[in-house]
Structure 1
């Protein structure tokens, strides 16, 4: 065995040892300010030099693209499958406002801020930057989502918003990348606009067809007792990736198809859908670990190498004003207290979706200012992993105290 293979094996062994150690200490870690993204981002950064020295760049690029595609397809399908449209219309006016009003406002404000700070990159790159940094990641705020201190309404709101905004922002990401790529000198733009529209139109059509069709077929199999319960996880994989591949074949966008297929499947399937959640708790968590590991090992070092003061300022603005102002505006008239609006605005951590979108768009398209985009995304996700991870537990307790105080005051007034 040569030195390269030996060092690669040692790196893999160290990563697997880290995964096992994390699994042993999950309860202890849950009680601390340390989170899964912090641990695996740090682990990735530590092994970044050995990985760079031991692996071919082509293999690394292919590997991270494959990991990004698999993870994003499963996350998009899984998140969308748990959203019930009837319930969303009736009982979730707050997350709906955040998605329908807050999300476009965030993309628009983010685009404006990115263009003002870096006008030479153009409006298309500003749109792409804003779009990849708009979706939020519940994994970074898991302490908040699972905390009994946080009122149920706020926890559900964070869950629903983070589950849907990555899929809803996909068209913005796609158009930004296509337009930025078209702006490159010598780029072939013939039929580009038509191809972009085709991706956004065909993706949902294919997603609906696959999600609805597979759900109906599984219902029939379940009703006739033909399908073993344990087969649900395998069927979930088949539906998600069939929608992705089917859409790519006909010229649609596979990720949009996977997201829409998840929503169609979840709202059509008549039986228990718990197998998707169970699968994502196991394999999905492992993919999340490796996604943050890849971020720490491959994206963060490059991002830090090209870091500028503009990227740092942009990252801070995206985590604060660009996120919190549109959310506050979208929640006007809901009856939520100011501290609740600020809480929802702050807990829009950037993580998995931003990482995956950046990996895939940079691999699929050539556009100007790639290094600036990488630096901005790297710094935003890095700061989000640290700041949201550290603030999750204390702010959960704070919002819980505020909710109890509000309840006590209301009770006294009613009495």
Structure 2
């Protein structure tokens, strides 16, 4: 029976891959497709859920480590600081505001919960996922500067939200009667030692790779394997010294990418190929293992909280964060809406479950998983029509949002790390 379920899962993956280009412009996105596939196989009982649950934790951790490393490695901090006003505002102001406003809204829905548990829920719902908004960030009807802003934000906000999630999760332990000082010490150790391990691994790995390339000790086909190995090294090394492996993987990617500069095309290629397979598998397992139980625990208060998070919390936070940038109202609304909740929300909830335990465990997981599939549907269905509508409105207004933005420095045509190719940088203007 398990083999039959896996057979149909791979058949479905093959079919989607063959139709991917056509489906890219439809409402049937990859997250919707694979979540629905997992839910269907769960309902027919073709795959044993206990075995699938064990696989989910392994795939979830591996996927999160790889995605955090890949996302971070493709961000140039210097150019982000100089030119990308929108992502800076959305990350530095929008993310904290999302947590703050989300905590207040969650308190209205769950008035009996302690403040730290409400903050934990808000922090889990704050990260966005570019995979769920892929039809937006690849739609040429949307101005390139807006697409890049959303891509950069979604690439960085999960890594920035993770320390808050870990800290709030550690403090929830106090509510369950655990030692306050022990939990706080544990939380800060995870947050401080993780980046330390990541910086060391990322920098040492970059230096070694650059020298190996310079002396022709390696080749392009192995550079990608080496880079991904660094993600695993950072994750495991942080655990050995008491830090958090996920934060370490993110910081390692950030350090590695900024050390090698625009010479890591293999990371883009992996993200567009094998990385997609990782995400598909994770969404499939979420639909198979977590969505059925989440649906059983979906109550009106939970549904209301999720809808307020999608329609009020993030849009308001993004609107407030962009005050003073002369950004058009339509652009603020568009970027505020297209902050879909995806793998990060689901995987972070799984990650902190052993820490929090108690009465909040089941409800927090239900909130996170239901938010993922609801967001997948709402953002997937609205992506194409709203992108066209927004693109037309910007074109008619002659908004500066359509001006040529600063190209991401790591987007290069060089085939390997050993053959860098530079490109001119232009200034970015905003409407």
Distance across 2 between alignment mates of 1:87 and 1:54: 47
Judge conservation of contact 1:247–1:254 (CA < 8 Å) in 2.
yes
Judge conservation of contact 1:121–1:368 (CA < 8 Å) in 2.
no
Judge conservation of contact 1:73–1:255 (CA < 8 Å) in 2.
yes
The aligned counterpart of 1:312 is 303
Distance across 2 between alignment mates of 1:408 and 1:273: 34
CA drift of 1:49 comes to 3.3
Q: Structure 1-normalised TM-score?
A: 0.93
CA drift of 1:30 comes to 1.4
Task: Decide which of 376, 389, 394 is 1:385's aligned counterpart.
Answer: 376
Residues 8 and 109 (structure 1), Cα distance of their counterparts in 2 relative to 1, 3 Å cut: same
Task: Decide which of 354, 362, 371 is 1:371's aligned counterpart.
Answer: 362
- Residue deviations 1:31-51 (CA, integer Å, cap 9, x gap): 311100110011011011345
- Show the 5 A alignment for 1:284-299: 284-299=275-290
Judge conservation of contact 1:206–1:247 (CA < 8 Å) in 2.
yes
- Residue deviations 1:288-312 (CA, integer Å, cap 9, x gap): 1111111211111111111111101
CA drift of 1:177 comes to 1.4
The aligned counterpart of 1:413 is none
Is 1:168 the counterpart of 2:156? The answer is no
Which runs of 5 or more structure 2 residues have no equivalent in the other structure? 402-431
The aligned counterpart of 1:37 is 31
Which runs of 5 or more structure 1 residues have no equivalent in the other structure? 1-6, 411-415
The aligned counterpart of 1:12 is 6
Distance across 2 between alignment mates of 1:31 and 1:322: 28
The aligned counterpart of 1:247 is 238
The aligned counterpart of 1:64 is 56
- Residue deviations 1:129-171 (CA, integer Å, cap 9, x gap): 1111100001111111011111011011000000000000001
The aligned counterpart of 2:260 is 269
Q: How many residues align?
A: 401
CA drift of 1:119 comes to 2.5
Distance across 2 between alignment mates of 1:280 and 1:124: 35
The structure in which a higher percent of residues are helix is: 1
Residues 282 and 363 (structure 1), Cα distance of their counterparts in 2 relative to 1, 3 Å cut: farther
Distance across 2 between alignment mates of 1:397 and 1:190: 53
Distance across 1 between alignment mates of 2:129 and 2:65: 15
* Larger mean Cα displacement after TM superposition, 82-91 or 397-406: 397-406
Residues 137 and 321 (structure 1), Cα distance of their counterparts in 2 relative to 1, 3 Å cut: same
CA drift of 1:399 comes to 1.5
* Larger mean Cα displacement after TM superposition, 364-373 or 340-349: 364-373
The aligned counterpart of 2:94 is 102
Is 1:346 the counterpart of 2:337? The answer is yes
Judge conservation of contact 1:178–1:365 (CA < 8 Å) in 2.
yes
Is 1:118 the counterpart of 2:116? The answer is no
CA drift of 1:373 comes to 1.4
The aligned counterpart of 2:412 is none
Is 1:47 the counterpart of 2:41? The answer is yes
Distance across 2 between alignment mates of 1:246 and 1:95: 30
- Show the 5 A alignment for 1:194-233: 194-233=185-224
- Residue deviations 1:235-294 (CA, integer Å, cap 9, x gap): 122100100000000000100000010100010014611111111222211111111111
Judge conservation of contact 2:73–2:253 (CA < 8 Å) in 1.
yes
The aligned counterpart of 1:3 is none
Q: How well do the aligned residues superpose, as a CA RMSD in angstroms?
A: 1.7
CA drift of 1:371 comes to 2.1
Residues 400 and 20 (structure 1), Cα distance of their counterparts in 2 relative to 1, 3 Å cut: same
Judge conservation of contact 1:11–1:50 (CA < 8 Å) in 2.
no
Distance across 1 between alignment mates of 2:157 and 2:206: 23
The aligned counterpart of 1:76 is 68
Residues 409 and 309 (structure 1), Cα distance of their counterparts in 2 relative to 1, 3 Å cut: closer
Is 1:23 the counterpart of 2:14? The answer is no
Residues 54 and 278 (structure 1), Cα distance of their counterparts in 2 relative to 1, 3 Å cut: closer
